[in-house]
Structure 1
Amino acid sequence: MNETKPHILLIDGMALLFRSFFATAHSGQFFRNANDIPTNGVQGFARHTMSAISIFQPTHMAVCWDMGAKTFRNELFADYKAHRPAPAPELVPQFDMAREVSETLGWKNYGIPNMEADDLIGSMIKTWKNEAKLTIVSGDKDLLQLLGPDVSIAFTKKGYTQYDEYNEARFIEEYGITPAQFIDMKAFTGDSSDGYPGVKGIGPKTALKLIQQYGSVDGVLAAREELTAGVRKKIDADGEMLMLSRELATIHCELTLDDPLEQLIIPEFTEDRARLMNQQGYSLIARQGLSVSPF
């Protein structure tokens, strides 16, 4: 029965776009089109996605996008991701271009204002986890909390073809906690890249030990009297931020996604699509598409 399950590839679009942009921008290779607009990130994103399709052989796919810099998490905590530098001017026009190319290629795209791509990915997993195998392609370790029996994550590693793949069993073996408990661990450590601190003075080793021993943030708080004086003092000083950090770390999986699974079927890359990509100045996408297409 499991052999006939659909296999859905969930692409973190912005993660691949940023990765592709910086892979060539450092050497000044922006691959400008006829209008002098850089296309390096767009072409890299599409090529990376095509390679992932070739490697993981999914039957269905969704590309998930962040829609602007602000989300509901900024309403909870004003400094959430606030310290990140503004995107390079060469990258800015490529945000819309990447989604347009993705849609032109016939890929199903999702983006909801005020939500992150992670929340869309989490909601898709909740929607389809009992009916399909799911593979996430991203560079974002926050997604580890979504691992499950039929959910794996392929973290970008090198180039377009090398990934560090995690399934639920590997995560449990390495961390000694469940994927869902990863949220509680991050509540203590915070996330420097996202700009929330967790509990000052509690690092990953201590946080992991606490969750392994007490199961959750609530379990740690219930066992406050058993904690060392140093740990107890740190938690008492940052108790409010501990609870807020847990909320910020939690991927929201409650978005309603009504599209039937058939809408996520991956279309073939045809000669017509290749011509269209060439006409729009995306020759690298055209070549990549024809090289990996089985048609």
Structure 2
Amino acid sequence: MTTTNRIMVVDGMALLFRAFYATAMSNYYMINSKGTPTNAVYGMVKHLFTAIETYQPTHVVCCWDMGSQTFRNDLFPDYKANRGAPPEELIPQFDLAKEVVESLNIPNVGQVGYEADDCMGTLSRLYSEHSQVFLLTGDQDLLQLLQPNVHVVLLKKGYGNYAEYHQDSFYEEKGITPSQMVDLKALMGDSSDNYPGVKGIGEKTALKLLMEHQTIEGILENLDKLTKGQRTKIEQDLEMLHLSRQLARINCEADVNCSLEDALFYIDDEKMEAKFNELEFRNWKKNLVRI
């Protein structure tokens, strides 16, 4: 069954950070006459417009983290504790980014205590019952959300370069199903999110174990078939294994919603132009892709 709605759910944080670091490396912050840096917001809009031009969605929603404390920190206080504070040039751009998104008539969605990933997962479950969903992100964690109607579009270097994943192509490439991604991360941990998984088990071993035994439960039921080293590592880190799985799983029951009516993609040119000019976006008519 084909559906006419094509809903793009955007990871606002991923686009904003990517755009910031692409220009900050050369100290190009695009500071306007008010002293406000705008490089991240400008680049985010370019990423957004390029993706919209490529995928032609009928509806667009943008999801955000709402502060650094989430339910995962309650489970594991060291979760993401390795992340430093954002650069000072980026801090004022968080609110600006949401203002710009709002000026494009795109809803901003977020929920305190949850990450943008959780909001994206929740919305993808709601929308995929009746629509094609495209999750635009730079974060491979979202691959666990792949379903027949849910595609993940990963940003690659530059503008307009994507790795697009479907449920079937993911299995062909990785050898495991999207839902097994959660157990994979539980076993091998995630250094960027700062949780260890099972010490001494890397991606190669974790993939092999999941291909043989399907799930963590399957592995635990067959400990006697594992090598002595694998068995010892898992038994020693059993508690952390279960905790890591809770941290790795995207929560698709965040308290967020956004009606299709609100998400319908329609730009009011005057509203957009006023915002872009207020922020003193340079050459935006030429450089920002218009749909």
Partner letter of residue 209 of structure 2?
Answer: L
What secondary structure, in the 3-state scheme, does the structure 2 residue paired with 1:115 have? coil
Structure 2: how far apart are the matches of 1:184 and 1:272?
A: 46
**Structure 1 contact 275–286 (Cα < 8 Å) conserved:** no
- The aligned amino acid for 2:246 is E
* Residues 124-143 of structure 1 aligned to structure 2 (within 5 Å): 124-143=123-142
Deviation at 1:89, TM superposition (A): 0.7
SS of equivalent to 1:89: coil
Return the offset for 1:52.
0.7
**Deviation at 1:205?**
0.8
**Matching residue of 2:115:** 116
1:99 paired residue number = 98
The one-letter code of the counterpart of 2:290 is: V
Higher RCO by CA contacts (8 Å cutoff, separation 6 or greater) = 2
1:80-137 CA-to-partner distances (Å, cap 9, x unmatched) read: 0011121111111111111111112211110111100000000011111110101111
TM-score (norm 1): 0.95
Superposed, which structure 2 residues align to 1:38-77 within 5 Å? Answer: 38-77=37-76
SS of equivalent residue, structure 1 residue 130: coil
TM-score, length basis structure 2: 0.96
On the 8 A contact 2:111/2:254 being kept in 1, the answer is no
Contact kept? 1:43, 1:284, Cα under 8 Å: no
C-alpha separation in 2, matches of 1:61 and 1:278:
23
SS state of the match for residue 100, structure 1? helix
Distance 1:101 1:192 in 2: 33
- Asked if 2 retains the 8 angstrom alpha-carbon contact of 1:46 and 1:285, the reply is no
Give the aligned length.
Answer: 291
1:1-295 alignment runs, 5 A limit: 2=2, 4-288=3-287, 291-293=289-291
Query: Given that residues 147 and 167 in structure 1 are in contact (C-alpha distance below 8 angstroms), is that contact kept between their aligned partners in structure 2?
Result: yes
Greater Cα shift, 164-173 or 240-249:
164-173
Read off the aligned partner of 2:174 and give its amino acid letter. Answer: Y
Large movers: runs of 4+ above 3 Å: 256-259, 283-289
Name the CA shift for 1:104/1:49 in 2 (closer, same or farther; >3 Å): same
Tell me how far apart the structure 2 counterparts of residues 133 and 81 of structure 1 sit (CA, whole Å).
32
Aligned equivalents of 1:15, 1:170: Cα separation in 2: 23
- Structure 1 residues 255 and 62: alpha-carbon distance in aligned structure 2, compared to 1, 3 A threshold: same
Q: Structure 2, unaligned stretches of length 5 or more?
A: none
- Residue identity in the other structure for 2:95: D
Q: Deviations over 1:1-48 (max 9, x none)?
A: 51x420000110001100000000011110011111110001111111
> Is the Cα–Cα contact under 8 Å of residues 177 and 212 in structure 1 kept in the other structure?
yes
Identity within the alignment, %: 47
Report the Cα distance in structure 1 between the residues aligned to 2:267 and 2:91, rounded to whole angstroms.
29
Coordinate RMSD, CA, aligned: 1.4
2: CA distance, partners of 1:265 / 1:183: 32
**Residue 91 of structure 2: SS of its match in structure 1?**
coil
